[in-house]
């Protein structure tokens, strides 16, 4: 019997490669561990039941994963869906002022607001006049905390940190095909088990179904939660993702990404979730070389991540025990290592050109400061102040940008 020639057989590497798998896996594991702790903390502050907490997790992970899968598949661009981590921090600072139903009402208003802005096309028009160096400086400032987290987390658990970092640095000497961050994650997990810093005592295998949460509309919650949350998603998460994709040579569907974030927010709010939107940091990982050597196949890493998020959302009640199993320091180290390439690219795009240098500098330091004014977080202030400073001191750069489309986002 004659077998098919190699040229006639399907090459699995043409469908998906190790970088697609490792980037999707690493980002998915990170997204389902450290950031989930913020939601759990907020739920504990609200004194929510296990069913309500797992429903909240289901909403943000399931619909966030669906967004990433659908958009990445449709546009063949590494667009990642998740939820706003900064929004989780915003909630931690405000949940004590309202009950869960009032918060859910604010979540619903936020989703509707983003959806309306998306279908109006206003987001794309605004981005035409935001300079790329200022956006990339904001991204660099916002994500630098992940790099700093490597140092702080390694200090917290020195032996675990040293072994994980050593693995990351040594791995490329043995193979270039597998990203070193995947080796670092595996060795870090094994080390955690050996050091007995993994705890599964609270693990439960009982699957809890998501619950519908009745929204209650409170005008104060709308102003202090819904509006800042909407601005945060539009001005931080979406802007980060769009800016990164443009810097990597993609042409992202700006309005579709905004509409998807709005629909995701609406769907998530029905189950008590605060958002399901385009994720800036995740998109940054999947658009970089860590997710694939070719621009044309990096979207597959986002799909893998989306599948992990969907599964995690469905089994969120069971996953609650695993979230706190591995030390948070390890996940912070892995997150920082995953961001190295993105950070270097952000710094280069922000500061390697002379145009908008003043605006980019202030955009960077404001985003880095993580300042919060009027319940609006640092990334949005970084964009606003950066643009205002450039308008005053670098108005000639704006004139040149308007006449040169390569210097702006869209």
Confidence of residue 324 (pLDDT cuts 50, 70, 90): low
In tens, the pLDDT along 225-260 reads 888 788 778 877 887 788 888 888 888 998 899 999
Residue 268, pLDDT above cutoff 90:
yes
Confidence of residue 5 (pLDDT cuts 50, 70, 90): very low
Q: Please tell me the predicted confidence (pLDDT) of residue 175.
A: 76
Q: Please tell me the predicted confidence (pLDDT) of residue 90.
A: 65
Distance CA 275, CA 256 (A): 16
The predicted model gives 76-84 an average pLDDT of 91
Sequence-distant (≥ 6) Cβ neighbours of residue 398 within 8 angstroms = 129, 131, 390, 391
The predicted model gives 392-401 an average pLDDT of 82
Confidence of residue 93 (pLDDT cuts 50, 70, 90): low
Q: Please tell me the predicted confidence (pLDDT) of residue 85.
A: 75
- State the CB neighbour count (10 A cutoff) for residue 223: 14
User: What is the percent of the chain with per-residue pLDDT over 90, rounded to a whole number?
Assistant: 29
State the distance between the two ends of the chain, measured CA to CA, in whole angstroms.
57
The predicted model gives 37-55 an average pLDDT of 82
Highest mean pLDDT among 81-95, 122-136, 199-213, 255-269: 255-269
**Torsion sign, CA atoms 187, 192, 196, 201:** negative
The predicted model gives 326-333 an average pLDDT of 83
Regarding predicted confidence, which is higher, 127 or 347?
A: 347
Residue 16, pLDDT above cutoff 80:
no
User: What is the percent of the chain with per-residue pLDDT over 70, rounded to a whole number?
Assistant: 88
Regarding predicted confidence, which is higher, 68 or 183?
A: 68
Nearest to 84 by CA among 102, 101, 71, 67: 67
Q: Is 129 exposed, middle or buried (0-12, 13-18, 19+ CB in 10 A)?
A: middle
Q: How far is CA 252 from CA 86, 360, 403, in A?
A: 23, 22, 21
The predicted model gives 289-297 an average pLDDT of 76
- State the CB neighbour count (10 A cutoff) for residue 66: 20
Distance CA 321, CA 36 (A): 11
Confidence of residue 352 (pLDDT cuts 50, 70, 90): confident
Residue 408, pLDDT above cutoff 60:
no
The 10 Å CB-count burial string (b at 16+, else e) for 334-372 is bbbbbbbbbbebbbebbbeeebbbebbbbbbbbbbeeeb
Number of residues written out for the chain: 410
Residue 4, pLDDT above cutoff 70:
no
Record the tokens describing residue 8, joined without a space. Answer: 């006639």
Q: Please tell me the predicted confidence (pLDDT) of residue 331.
A: 79
Regarding predicted confidence, which is higher, 128 or 208?
A: 208
Tell me the pLDDT of the chain averaged across its residues.
Answer: 83
Q: Please tell me the predicted confidence (pLDDT) of residue 68.
A: 94
In tens, the pLDDT along 184-216 reads 888 998 999 898 888 776 666 677 788 899 999
Out of 116-120, 150-154, 281-285, 390-394, pick the least confident.
281-285
């Amino acid at each position: 019997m004659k077998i098919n020639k190699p040229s006639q057989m399907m090459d699995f590497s043409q469908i998906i490669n190790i970088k697609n798998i490792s980037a999707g896996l690493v980002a998915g594991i990170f997204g389902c561990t450290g950031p989930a702790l913020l939601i759990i903390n907020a739920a504990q502050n609200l004194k929510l039941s296990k069913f309500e907490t797992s429903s909240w997790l289901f909403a943000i992970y399931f619909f966030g994963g669906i967004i990433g899968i659908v958009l990445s598949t449709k546009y063949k661009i590494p667009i990642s869906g998740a939820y706003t981590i900064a929004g989780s921090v915003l909630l931690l600072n405000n949940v004590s002022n309202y009950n869960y139903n009032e918060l859910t009402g604010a979540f619903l208003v936020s989703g509707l607001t983003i959806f309306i802005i998306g279908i109006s096309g206003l987001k794309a028009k605004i981005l035409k006049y935001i300079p790329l160096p200022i956006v990339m400086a904001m991204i660099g400032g916002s994500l630098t905390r992940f790099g700093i987290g490597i140092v702080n987390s390694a200090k917290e658990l020195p032996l675990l940190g040293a072994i994980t970092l050593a693995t990351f640095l040594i791995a490329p000497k043995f193979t270039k095909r597998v990203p070193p961050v995947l080796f670092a994650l595996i060795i870090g997990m094994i080390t955690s088990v050996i050091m007995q810093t993994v705890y599964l005592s609270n693990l439960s295998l009982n699957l809890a179904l998501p619950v519908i949460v009745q929204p209650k509309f409170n005008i104060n919650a709308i102003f202090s939660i819904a509006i800042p949350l909407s601005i945060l998603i539009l001005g931080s998460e979406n802007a980060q993702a769009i800016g990164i994709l443009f810097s990597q040579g993609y042409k992202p569907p700006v309005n579709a990404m905004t509409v998807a974030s709005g629909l995701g927010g609406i769907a998530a709010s029905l189950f008590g979730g605060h958002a399901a939107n385009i994720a800036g940091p995740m998109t940054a990982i999947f658009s970089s070389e860590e997710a694939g050597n070719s621009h044309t196949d990096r979207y597959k890493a986002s799909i893998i991540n989306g599948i992990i998020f969907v599964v995690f959302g469905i089994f969120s009640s069971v996953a609650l025990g695993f979230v706190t199993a591995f030390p948070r320091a390890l996940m912070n180290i892995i997150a920082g290592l995953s961001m190295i390439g993105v950070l270097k690219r952000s710094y280069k795009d922000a500061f390697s050109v002379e145009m908008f240098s003043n605006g980019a500098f202030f955009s960077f330091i404001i985003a880095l400061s993580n300042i919060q004014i009027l319940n609006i977080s640092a990334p949005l202030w970084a964009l606003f102040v950066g643009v205002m400073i450039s308008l005053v001191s670098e108005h000639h750069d704006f004139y040149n940008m308007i006449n040169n489309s390569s210097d702006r986002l869209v």
